Amino acid sequence: MIGSRTLKRMRNYLVKKAQVERHYLTDEHLVFEISLTNFLFFKEIHAEFWNDEEIVEVATELMDNDNIRIYIPFVLLETIETGAKVKVFINNKAAWLTEHPSYKAGDFNESLLVNERYLTTRVKRNLQISHRFSEFRFSGQEVYSEIEKLGYDCLELDLDIPVAVAGNATEIYGFKNRQFVILHGEPDETSGRLIVRDFSKLSIGIWRLFVLLDGTLHPLRLDLSEAEGFSSLRHQIRPIRRANSFYLGVRPNAVRPDGVKIENLNDGSFHLALSLSPDAQAAEAEYALLMDDPKSGRTRTYPLIKRDGSLHTNIPLEDFFTTPFAKRFFLIQQSEEPKVSQFRLGGQLRQTDVRFKVIADSQYVKLRFYKRKDKSLGLKLSRPKLRKAISDIDGFRLEGVIGSTDEFIDSTAYLLLEDRLSLESRSVPITGNFTVGLADWDLIALKSREKTIFDLFVVIETADGRVIRKEKIKYRKAVYKKDNYYSYKVLQDDEGNDHHFMITTTPFDNLKIETFTIPADIRIPEDINVKDPNVWLVGERSNTAQDNGIVLFQWLLENTNVEAYYVIEEDSLDYEPIQEMKNVLVFGSPEHFDVAFRAGVLLCTHDIENILPYKPARGSFGYENTKRIFLQHGVLGRKNVEYHKRNYELPFHQFVVSSEPEKETVVMEEMGYSDAEVIVTGLARFDRLVQKEPPRDILLMPTWRDWINTDEQFLASEYYLAYTNLIQNKKLLGLLDQYEINLYFYPHYRAQNYFQHSQRDMHERIKFIQLGSVTVQQLLIRHALLVTDYSSVSFDFTLLEKPVVYYHFDVDRFFRRGILRPIDETFIGGIAGHEEELVSIIEDRIVQDFANFDVDITGIIKYQDQNNCRRIYEHVAGLLDSVEAEVVVEGDEVK
């Protein structure tokens, strides 16, 4: 029998590998060296440079049977706008390139300055080359520097240029792959040297240094071959010379404990003891333990007491559960030169010492202290997983299962039905295999309005009525369609109103009930299938009027003979400004029902259900006989959205987009629509984007996270903490004060209530914008800089030729289901992965007087004019003309 190790050795021997070992620059080329393993026979090797739609063959060289070189000329690198890739073919088959261990060790992400263009490389199946930081002006002219002095948190440089006058800092920029920071150099009036003292913004890695002169970044040249390092609060920093360029190598302060012991004291606290060798301790220093929550930014410190040659502290158990995220621990040395050091663990943690099962918040929680990948000490928390599902739907009866309830202490599980708007609910206890008859509940009384949605949850509640878990429940047999249902029931109230209830699911297979009412006084046409092609019903979300829907509606009234109507809820903040406008309908009114029954064309920025008083579905009041136009509420190409053709039994007839790449790459290839169904017109709201006066303030406008479903999840989320921390960032607030700039915070509509509660504690320069108090277009026009994360309103802002900065602190999770186009193609502007980097980019734009980044949006927005509404109208009219022509032809054939 062949053992697993033998099989692994055999696979390693047989599998073909093409590994990138290194890259370097010559006078005219960027060169990659690739080693080949297990390629026993090959006749031909060639490589292709792919940049947008251009493909150019580049030179290759076979060094020996095991190594090849790829030569990319500078003239090709100079054509890269955002990113390009190089594909390598062996025997006419594309090779799957990976990183050689030596390539990783050589820090392959270091920058390449090619004819004043900052490029970075990455190996991901192909050779990927990115044009980073195109917003900056780089110069190939070096500035010579000498290191005059090194000390704790201090680097003193002598530059061969005059440093800034007294009182003004000289900006030193550090670049590391996709990140940059600004280091402030203070001039010494006596020596004329530059002193940099604060390195807290640097993270682990190798940073290339540039100096900013007259708006241009010049690379620093370091002639010293070797230099001693110096320490800061959190890092060991060493000057490095590579090809004469000046780099700073940054690694964390670290301490190697001789032993780590963790005990559960069973009194609501944990005891932690650290054994440090005498040479690892400073005699006069005091020590503390720092517990850091990297995702939330929250920290706690615990004094360490010296006893029996070790350092001891107790940590309350409840401190571990302030957030559900993983924690890490550091040692704080409090002295004249304080240090925060991570633990460098070897075999100090024994497996039996690090796992605990404790009771917290009336449930069993697992704690695991472990050695992280960087060998530091970490803590993971695992709450019990609640097993639950609906297995079958029989009429309006749900059959399901609930398990793992024994992991909860003195608690009861309930199936809860909750109105999404009012949060009013009904519940029933459930255990094991259960059956719940929804028709037995007073569903009509639960409704907060005539058209609403009920969500289904499983709730775990303690004996004293405290909810400790609330999670949506999935349907095992779900087949997701936006315009279909699993079960349908009509109930009539005492006044003769018909209440319709349809059991459906969300895109994540969570159960919900959609409900609408047909009042007794509504006259339903005898033949509901007859539609009028000249009656167009337009809308957005049912409570808004500030996007493509209202702009197109007003254009139709002013420029066409179409009988156009706009529908909006009466209690919406957006209703008041437009209520006197012709053909504006109140959602659910008799006039709305009348138009909805007659309308031959339905145009909406979101799903059609937002503009109809009933559920859009086949057989529902002639819905299948309408023409359905998706007006869009943004430019696609980032997150995978829900509007795929497969998600509808009756999909859109026309899908509005803003460019050919969006049409072909996203809506046709990814979402399944045909060429005739996708129209490149541009968004209607682009017609109103006109910048008349230069603004001054900053707009912070993040989008939502679809994995947040409950209040508890939101308040404990990385998302909430990230933006709470940002608007309290001391450096950012200092910049706003220094430059007399306000930051206007406009949270997503689902997050408004949470952030609004804390607005009283905001700094005076942070201004909260309430939903509906101003239109999004007005916001975009009134601000000089937009800070967002993934929102497509960034395209509108870029169209106004103003800079956008993106905050990608959770980019991997946000695009966990894939991204439709590469990040570099659609996120046009500055991109930050963490808070300090974001503040640095904001600072740079403020210093540059809000100058726009050097961007090209022709691949994102084809038409940069004010004729988008006209193009949309002409396409829809053309669709109606073609349908009418088909009817005539069919009639002739019948005759």
CB 539 within 8 A of CB 567: yes
Residue with tokens 């099989």: 7
CATH class label, 532-686: alpha beta
Q: How many helices (H) and strands (E) does the chain have?
A: 18, 56
Residue 757 pLDDT class (50, 70, 90 cuts)? low
Residue with tokens 């049409």: 663
- Is it the case that residue 163 has pLDDT exceeding 60? no
Which fold would CATH assign to domain 691-847? Rossmann fold (3.40.50)
Query: Which of the listed CATH numbers 2.60.40, 1.20.1300, 3.90.79, 1.10.20 matches domain 387-518?
Result: 2.60.40
Structure token pair of residue 262? 């963790």
Q: Determine what percent of the chain is predicted with pLDDT higher than 90.
A: 54
Residue 165 pLDDT class (50, 70, 90 cuts)? very low
Q: What pLDDT is recorded for position 864? A: 85
Mean per-residue pLDDT of the chain:
87
Q: What pLDDT is recorded for position 675? A: 96
Residue 342 pLDDT class (50, 70, 90 cuts)? very high
Q: How many CB atoms lie within 10 A of CB 175?
A: 25
- Is it the case that residue 215 has pLDDT exceeding 70? yes
Which fold would CATH assign to domain 4-131? Immunoglobulin-like (2.60.40)
Residue with tokens 């004060």: 737
**In residues, how long is the chain?**
895
Residue with tokens 């070189």: 69
The residues spanned by each domain of the chain are 4-131, 143-252, 254-382, 387-518, 532-686, 691-847
In this structure, what DSSP letter does residue 801 have? T
Q: What pLDDT is recorded for position 4? A: 53
Which among 710, 731, 721 has a CA at the least distance from the CA of 809?
Answer: 721
Q: How many CB atoms lie within 10 A of CB 540?
A: 26
CB 567 within 8 A of CB 593: no
Averaged pLDDT, 15-37: 88
Longest Cα–Cα distance of the chain, Å, equals 105
35: β partners: 19, 67
CB 486 within 8 A of CB 514: no
d(CA 659, CA 678) in angstroms, rounded, equals: 10
Phi and psi dihedrals of 33, rounded to 5? -110, 130
With H, G, I as helix, E, B as strand and everything else as coil, classify residue 373: coil
Structure token pair of residue 506? 């969300």
| Strand spans (E) along 361-405 | 363-371, 377-382, 387-394, 397-403
**CA 306 vs CA 273, 287, 303, 568: distances in Å:** 10, 9, 10, 68
CB 763 within 8 A of CB 742: no
Structure token pair of residue 449? 């309005």
Q: DSSP characters for 602-620?
A: EEESS-GGGT-SS---TTS
Burial pattern 372-388, b for ≥16 Cβ within 10 A else e, equals beeebbbbebebbebeb
d(CA 95, CA 90) in angstroms, rounded, equals: 6
Structure token pair of residue 496? 């003769």
d(CA 714, CA 666) in angstroms, rounded, equals: 30
Which among 78, 55, 63, 13 has a CA at the least distance from the CA of 33?
Answer: 63
pLDDT in tens, 263-277: 999 889 999 999 988
With H, G, I as helix, E, B as strand and everything else as coil, classify residue 348: coil
Q: What pLDDT is recorded for position 891? A: 42
State the DSSP H helix or E strand holding residue 767, giving kind and residue range, or none if neither: strand 766-768
Phi and psi dihedrals of 530, rounded to 5? -80, 125
pLDDT in tens, 424-483: 999 999 999 999 999 889 999 999 999 999 999 999 999 999 999 999 999 999 999 999
- CATH code for 254-382? 2.60.40.10
Residue 283 pLDDT class (50, 70, 90 cuts)? low
Amino acid (1-letter code) at residue 243: A
Q: DSSP characters for 186-203?
A: EE-TTT--EEE---TT--
pLDDT in tens, 559-617: 999 999 999 999 998 999 999 999 999 999 999 999 999 999 999 999 999 999 999 99
State the DSSP H helix or E strand holding residue 471, giving kind and residue range, or none if neither: strand 467-472
- Is it the case that residue 106 has pLDDT exceeding 90? no
**CA 44 vs CA 41, 61, 68: distances in Å:** 10, 11, 12
Averaged pLDDT, 128-139: 81
d(CA 497, CA 37) in angstroms, rounded, equals: 75
Structure token pair of residue 696? 């001054």
Phi and psi dihedrals of 831, rounded to 5? -125, 130
Which among 775, 786, 801 has a CA at the least distance from the CA of 697?
Answer: 786
Residue with tokens 């009194």: 267
Q: What pLDDT is recorded for position 309? A: 81
pLDDT in tens, 371-385: 988 889 999 999 999
pLDDT in tens, 539-572: 999 999 989 999 999 999 999 999 999 999 999 9
Report the relative pairing of strands 363-371 and 355-360 from DSSP bridges.
antiparallel
d(CA 238, CA 251) in angstroms, rounded, equals: 9
CATH class label, 143-252: mainly beta
Structure token pair of residue 504? 């459906």
- Same fold for the domain at 4-131 and the one at 143-252? yes
Q: Residue 122: CB partners within 8 Å, gap ≥ 6?
A: 108, 109, 128, 130
d(CA 619, CA 599) in angstroms, rounded, equals: 15
Q: What pLDDT is recorded for position 200? A: 86
With H, G, I as helix, E, B as strand and everything else as coil, classify residue 445: helix
CB 341 within 8 A of CB 376: no
Report the relative pairing of strands 143-151 and 154-159 from DSSP bridges.
antiparallel
CA angle 807, 808, 810 (to 5 degrees): 130
CB 181 within 8 A of CB 173: yes
Which among 158, 143, 151 has a CA at the least distance from the CA of 191?
Answer: 158
Q: What pLDDT is recorded for position 115? A: 78
CA angle 723, 836, 731 (to 5 degrees): 85
d(CA 460, CA 474) in angstroms, rounded, equals: 16
Name, of 211-215, 284-288, 681-685, the range with top average pLDDT.
Answer: 681-685
**What is the pTM for the complete model shown?**
0.71
543: β partners: none
CA angle 750, 755, 757 (to 5 degrees): 115
CB-based burial label for 440 (10 Å; 0-12, 13-18, 19+): exposed
Structure token pair of residue 24? 């370097």
Which among 581, 580, 589, 544 has a CA at the least distance from the CA of 564?
Answer: 581
- Is it the case that residue 502 has pLDDT exceeding 90? yes
With H, G, I as helix, E, B as strand and everything else as coil, classify residue 711: helix
- Is it the case that residue 785 has pLDDT exceeding 80? yes
Q: What pLDDT is recorded for position 108? A: 55
In this structure, what DSSP letter does residue 318 have? G
CB 682 within 8 A of CB 868: yes
CB 799 within 8 A of CB 861: yes
